[in-house]
Amino acid sequence: MKKALDEGDHRRRFLRLLATSPLLGLSGLSWLESEVEWRQALDSFAQSEEIITSPEQALNVMEFEAVARQKLPPAHFGYLATGVTDDGTLRANREGFAKYQLRVRRLRDVQKIDLSVRLFGTTWDSPIILAPVGSQKAFHPDGEITVAKAARAKGHHKILSTHASSSVEAVNEALGAPTWFQLYPTDDWTVTRGLTKRVEAAGCPVLVLTVDSQGGSLRETFARFRRTDLRQCTDCHVGGFTYNAMIRRRPMFQGLELSKVTTQLPLNLNWDIVKRLKDLTPMKLVIKGLATREDAELAVEHGADGVIVSNHGGRAEDSRRGTIECLPEVVAGVQGKIPVLIDGGFRRGTDIFKALALGAQAVCIGRPYLWGLAAFGQAGVEAVLTLLRRELTIDMRQAGTASIAQITREYLLEQ
Ligand SMILES: Cc1cc2nc3c(=O)[nH]c(=O)nc-3n(C[C@H](O)[C@H](O)[C@H](O)COP(=O)(O)O)c2cc1C
């Protein structure tokens, strides 16, 4: 049944209309490029409920979440949305950004904004990278391939998960370049070696070792959504839900002897793994999931080539500490010797600006592109990337910073 529009709905629709209107005269900022597109959006806008019905209607990346929730089966949406226990760390990731405000400068030439960054010898069009996420066919029939096509179309880089539902070779082809590969080592070194040598042969320049979920996690939101899903899960999850059964269905594990594998990150794993991997492969090694100065120092000592500040999007530990709050001590720990990247709760251009100002070289996003993928496929992922880049560009103009290198600590105030 169609619900009556309240004042907030009308205001929301009006703002959306303004944002899409070429009459607004924000040259270079207008979301829709041609009058035809604008009229089509107006038509669908007039027909839409509160939830957007096409990517062009979105004012920000959060608007894709409601569509994803509407389209996905409950268990899959729960897998996407969940944090740990009552989602305290998930919320902390968002709340952490409020501790910083922007100190904006005036009368700077901001006509040309350069978003490019250089990482491990390659220049990228923007500092926004698509984080590794497993099982993307749970969100769209072509999962990782669709995401790779969107990343390619928009000039963004991505990291492929060990648990991807497409192979590294297929993703590289769709991306038009070798992806970075995220590694869960498992508890069998022959499998670690097999995965590493396969992605090395596929040309992947960077291996991203995830270390944040060694302790296990209690994902209550996932369990709650799953309870409401009445489908027969074993129709697709053939073999059941043990780790061993799951990886047997994953393309990256095909051809490997898996009988001894029981877990993605063994409980007794320690810093020796870094040296072992460095000895195994010439790929750059980035450690994903650090949160403290001490571990940042250890990463440098053990020869890591980079680190990612991350708590797995609030899905790893119950620390209730946002990654943006961890970033300054990790930056201090590496002392400029290796690049620091970060993820967790990035939804706005200002979030990205703040991380760059605190010393991150790049920012990874997870859920926003998955919402776009589930909502509208490739067009949804592209729209998410366009929105984030557009916001960052405007924020940089407003602050008077024309390039990423110009975004420094002096542009932030800490409350
Ligand atoms: C559904 C889902 C699956 C994920 N799978 C992986 C994975 O396979 N490997 C990994 O290193 N991180 C994984 N992550 C964590 C992301 O790489 C990233 O750290 C996180 O999503 C960033 O937070 P955000 O979602 O708030 O942007 C996953 C996250 C989500 C939401």
Q: What is the mean pLDDT of the chain?
A: 91
Q: Which of 4-13, 168-177, 214-223 has the highest mean pLDDT?
A: 168-177
Question: Which residue among 179, 265, 310, 312 is best mutated to probe the pocket of ligand 1, counting the most ligand atoms within 8 A of its Cβ?
Answer: 312
Query: What is the average pLDDT across 387-395?
Result: 98
Distance in Å from the first CA to the final CA of the chain: 46
pLDDT band for position 12 (cuts 50, 70, 90): low
Give the residue whose CA is nearest to atom 8 of ligand 1: 134
Global confidence as pTM: 0.90
What was the pLDDT predicted at 43? 52
Distance 166 CA to ligand 1 centre (A): 16
Listed in sequence order, the DSSP H helices in 155-271 are 168-175, 189-201, 220-227, 243-248
Please state, in angstroms and rounded to a whole number, the distance separating the CA atoms of residues 203 and 206. Answer: 9
Q: Look at ligand 1, atom 26, and give the residue with the nearest C-alpha.
A: 345
Q: What is the structure's pLDDT at 48?
A: 52
Q: Is the pLDDT of residue 274 over 70?
A: yes
Cβ 292 vs Cβ 325: under 8 Å? no
Find the 135 Cα to ligand 1 centroid distance in Å: 11
All domains in the chain, ordered by first residue: 1-50 (no CATH), 75-414 (3.20.20.70)
Going by DSSP bridges, is the β-strand pair 157-160/128-130 parallel, antiparallel, or unpaired? Answer: parallel
Q: Which ligand 1 atom minimizes the distance to the CA of 365?
A: 27
Q: Sign of the CA dihedral 131, 134, 135, 138?
A: negative
How many beta carbons lie within 10 A of that of residue 234, not counting itself? Answer: 10
Which residues does ligand 1 sit against, CB inside 6 Å? 79-80, 93, 131-134, 161, 163, 182, 210, 288, 310, 312-313, 315, 343-346, 365-367
Given a contact cutoff of 8 angstroms between Cβ atoms, the answer to whether 144 and 171 are in contact is yes
Residue nearest to atom 3 of ligand 1 (CA): 133
Catalytic positions are 312
Q: Rounded CA gap, 198 and 384, in Å?
A: 31
Instruction: Give the nearest ligand 1 atom to 159 CA.
Output: 17
- Counting atoms of ligand 1 from 1, which one is nearest the CA of 132? 17
